[in-house]
Amino acid sequence: MNGPILCYLKLVFISLVITATSCQQDTQHTADLIITNANIWTGDPDHPTASAIAIAADTIVAVGDFGTMSPHKGPHTIMKDAQGKMITPGFIDSHVHLLAGGRSLLSVELRDANTPEEFIRRIADFAKTIKPGEWILEGNWDHTLWGGELPRKEWIDKYTPENPVVIYRLDGHMVLANSLALKHAGIDKQTADVESGLIVRNPDGSPTGILKSRAMDVMLNMIPPMTEDQQDESFRAAMKYFVSNGVTSVHDVDSLACARSAIKALANDEVQVRIYGISPLYYVDQYIPGNYDPKWYKTGGLKGFVDGSLGSHTAAFHHAYSDVSDGDAGFFVHDENELFEWINKADQKNLQVMIHAIGDKAIHTILNIYERIVQQNGEKDRRLRIEHAQHIDPKDISKFAQLGVIASMQPYHAIDDGRWAEEAIGSERIKTTYAFKSLLDAQTKIAFGSDWAVAPASPLLGIYSATTRRTLDHKNPDGWVPEQKISVKQALIAYTRDAAYASFEETLKGSLTIGKLADFVILSEDIMKIDLHKIKDVHIVETYVGGKQVFDYQY
């Protein structure tokens, strides 16, 4: 074969290889869905805005303008016009009680019961809908709505003679039990006091029905566990609720409860929301992370408690509450030595640790424990978290960033507690209550969430709360502790990019960039441009998880 012919054949061969390779790349990058004419906030600091996005399977393959989409359009690509609506990364709720929240959707709703009469009526009406012997649970009542009087078992006994009742105050650190439930648990005037808890009593020593912190355990241990069917129903209800609020991932801090339902749903391809399953810290000796599809169900985190809540006066402070005369400053659920031992074991197993701490003493204590852990075990990428971090001693704010501690916070609590918190802890301590701006100014990473079912799992309502701090009673139109307000962009980052960072998943999700999961939401309004006070009225138009539409708002 002569030289020119051989050269020609080589060129033909190279051309065929290039063409084949090009066709393969086009096939790999051909989009299933392209959305154009959109107002996209990507969450990517290098490319924060775009007008079009392309998705292949569950992954983003292009983000840009209309022109950059054409190489990804194939014969079967679905083209969608967003009609100028805003698109953001899917919201990540960094703190939920998934199964309990799902169960609350199926039980009596007491969150907005504004009077004792309404509280009683709702329980009485719900009791008529269930069978004798069934327990009435969850509830999530708020006694501050009717002036602060704690409910009593006598309020509901005559309406629930055949149904045990154990209903939570919305913060989850206090319950009301009716007489039948107290009888089941063997709690009466002879019952001994409980360490790190409180059985509220009448003058004669008999229980009023209110149990706080670890005193609740005596009662909660008597409640029959949910059946598998009840768990699955609660799980499905939670999934539906999350996607309707634009939530595409959650950090479930009660994962032991929902793990079975989640794994079953995962096997049946029925999970709509990505889950970071977090187990109790006291489980550290027996804990072995599960091996599941990490895109959908991730494990490896443990959660513990230092104290309780402000509303039940069980949050631990350096100084006494301002509205008491007995020196009550709250208390620890677990002592410092016990916490250090558990956290140290978890850290040695390379498990992520997140600790509930609300009062300034509780936060100070856990920061000190974290510092000891770092000193003892050496530097590494731990991403230690403090859940809630509500009432911080000003001297401790800088320690979050210094230790690399993530503040996992729930902004809705600020506009809820702000109605009465100053009365509880005084005008000075509220200055660093829900201190979003002070923490961000100190270069702390904040991951936002809801604490659902303690609060609504609505990121839009959370963004409204963080940016306006208008309390629910409308008495703070310019914001409660307004110097702690933050921008919409900062709140969005806390619900997306930094929330993904808080679970070691920032390379997988949290921003709309090429190669990440196609989790995103379409909003009815541009929350970066409208009046901040209107953000709470914006609704989710569509929610997509892995490129699939899982929610569509019906006008």
Residue pLDDT, tens place only, 142-196: 998 998 899 999 999 999 999 999 999 988 889 999 999 999 999 999 999 988 8
What's the confidence (pLDDT) of residue 255?
A: 67
Residue 155 placed within a domain: yes
3 state SS of 492: helix
Q: Return d(Cα 372, Cα 377) in angstroms, integer.
A: 8
User: Following DSSP, what letter does each residue of 313-325 receive, concatenated?
Assistant: T-S--SS--TT-S
Q: Per the structure, how many domains does the chain have? A: 1
Q: What stretches of 19-132 adopt beta strand conformation (E)?
A: 33-36, 39-41, 49-50, 52-56, 59-64, 78-81, 86-89, 91-96
Residue 148 placed within a domain: yes
Q: What are phi and psi of 476, to 5 degrees?
A: -130, 70
- 16: which 2 tokens? 């065929």
Quick one: which of 269, 263, 266, 273 has its CA closest to 243? Answer: 273
Structural contact between residues 555 and 542, judged by C-beta atoms closer than 8 angstroms: no
pLDDT at 498 over 90: yes
Element (H, E) at 280: strand 274-280
3 state SS of 43: coil
The pTM (predicted TM-score) of the whole model is: 0.87
Q: Return d(Cα 334, Cα 63) in angstroms, integer.
A: 48
- 338: which 2 tokens? 């016990």
Q: Distance between alpha carbon 543 and the CA centroid of its chain, in Å?
A: 17
Q: What spatial distance separates the first Cα and last Cα of the chain, rounded to whole Å?
A: 73
- 8: which 2 tokens? 């020609």
What's the confidence (pLDDT) of residue 17?
A: 40
Structural contact between residues 69 and 225, judged by C-beta atoms closer than 8 angstroms: no
Cis bond upstream, residue 453 (ω within 30): yes
Residue 7 pLDDT level (bands cut at 50, 70, 90): very low
What's the confidence (pLDDT) of residue 325?
A: 87
Sheet of 59-64: strand order equals 59-64, 52-56, 33-36, 78-81
- Phi/psi region, residue 389 (left: phi>0; alpha: psi -120 to 50; beta: rest), is left
pLDDT at 276 over 60: yes
Residue 93 placed within a domain: no
Q: Return d(Cα 311, Cα 47) in angstroms, integer.
A: 43
- Supply the CATH number for residue 167's domain: 3.10.310.70
pLDDT at 18 over 90: no
Residue 537 placed within a domain: no
Residue for token pair 């698109």: 87
Residue 339 pLDDT level (bands cut at 50, 70, 90): very high
Residue 167 placed within a domain: yes
Where in the sequence is the domain holding 162, given as residue range(s)? 101-220
CB count within 10 Å of CB 168 equals 22
Element (H, E) at 140: strand 136-141
What's the confidence (pLDDT) of residue 28?
A: 54
Residue for token pair 């929902």: 258
pLDDT tens-digit series, residues 41-87: 999 999 999 999 999 999 999 999 999 999 999 999 999 999 999 99
Residue 200 placed within a domain: yes
Question: Once rounded to an integer, what is the mean pLDDT over residues 464-470?
Answer: 98
Residue 235 placed within a domain: no
Quick one: which of 443, 454, 434, 421 has its CA closest to 498? Answer: 443
Residue 551 pLDDT level (bands cut at 50, 70, 90): very high
Residue 416 placed within a domain: no
- 451: which 2 tokens? 């604490």
Q: Return d(Cα 538, Cα 541) in angstroms, integer.
A: 9
Residue 21 pLDDT level (bands cut at 50, 70, 90): very low
Structural contact between residues 371 and 403, judged by C-beta atoms closer than 8 angstroms: yes
Q: Does the CA dihedral 249-254-259-261 come out positive or negative?
A: negative
Cβ neighbours of residue 236 closer than 8 Å, sequence gap 6 or more: 102, 265, 270
Residue for token pair 């079912």: 453
